[in-house]
Amino acid sequence: MKLRDCPDKMNCVNSDATESRHAIKGFALSGDDEAWGIVCKLVSTMRGVTIIEETGDYLRATFRIPVFGFIDDLELGRRDDRHVAVRSCSRVGRYDFGVNRRRVEKLRYLLRKTGLID
């Protein structure tokens, strides 16, 4: 499953992107078959999140940004038992001040802390 492309703005990161301004590394899980469920549960604990869709290999969530109330989208796509693609994108504006990249890195930190990634 390929995630949606980033728009031609500086408000999106995507592990499928080829251009450096949007590129971010996906997640290589070191866990077992239950790892995907743990990833989804970790996302559900993040600040401002609403889970929109969750299937066996796909998760779509929104994040409401405090103060301004903007909505950002997060997508995770499981490629196989170990690899997860990620996309995080703002719905409005041309520049996100690094919010989406920091969100993905925060999730990476949480996954590392739980031992799901190295």
Per-residue confidence band for 33, with pLDDT thresholds at 50, 70 and 90: confident
Write down the domain spans for the chain. 12-113
Q: Specify the pTM.
A: 0.93
- Chain segment 89-106, per-residue pLDDT in tens: 999 988 898 999 999 999
Predicted local distance difference test score (pLDDT) of residue 118: 79
Strand 12-14 vs strand 83-90: parallel, antiparallel, or unpaired? Answer: antiparallel
CATH of domain 12-113: 3.30.310
